[in-house]
Amino acid sequence: MRNLSVNIGHARDFLPPEALTSWASRVDQAQKELLEGTGRGNDFLGWLDLPEKSMKTAAEITQIAGQFSEDLDSVIVIGIGGSYLGTRSVVETLADPYVKSRKNPEILFAGHHLADRYYAGLLDYLKTRQWGIVVVSKSGTTTEPAVAFRLLKKALESQAGTVKAARRVIAITDRSRGALHRLSEQMGYTTFIIPDDVGGRFSVLSPVGLVPIAIAGYSVTSLLEGALAYKQSHLYSRDSLNDPAGIYAAVRNALLGVGKTTEILASFEPQLHYFAEWWKQLFGESEGKEGKGIYPSSAEFTTDLHSMGQYIQQGLRNLFETFIIPEPPHSPVEVPADPQDLDGLNFLAGRKICAINDAALEGTVQAHVEGGVPVIRIETGPISEYMLGELFYFFEKACAISGYLLGVNPFDQPGVELYKKNMFRLLRKPGH
Determine the distance from the C-alpha atom of residue 389 to the mean position of all C-alpha atoms in its chain, rounded to a whole number. 10
CA distance 382 to 316: 34
In the residue annotation, 420 being an active-site residue is answered as: yes
Is residue 398 within 8 Å of residue 235, measured between CB atoms? no
In the residue annotation, 231 being an active-site residue is answered as: no
From the list 217, 257, 255, the residue with the least C-alpha distance to 65 is 217
Candidates 53, 273, 280, 420; catalytic one: 420
Interacting residues of 350 by C-beta distance below 8 A, sequence separation 6+: 334, 335, 337
Q: At what angle are helices 207-215 and 220-234 packed, to 10 degrees?
A: 140
Interacting residues of 272 by C-beta distance below 8 A, sequence separation 6+: 93, 300, 324, 383
CA distance 118 to 120: 6
Candidates 285, 300, 321, 385; catalytic one: 285
CA distance 135 to 146: 9
In the residue annotation, 321 being an active-site residue is answered as: no
Is residue 180 within 8 Å of residue 189, measured between CB atoms? no
Candidates 56, 100, 306, 330; catalytic one: 306
Give, in order, the Cα–Cα distances in Å from 271 to each of 91, 263, 275, 282, 307.
10, 20, 8, 19, 19
| Coil vs helix vs strand at 183 | helix
- Bridge partners of residue 324, in order along the sequence: 267, 378
Indicate which residues carry an active-site annotation.
285, 306, 420
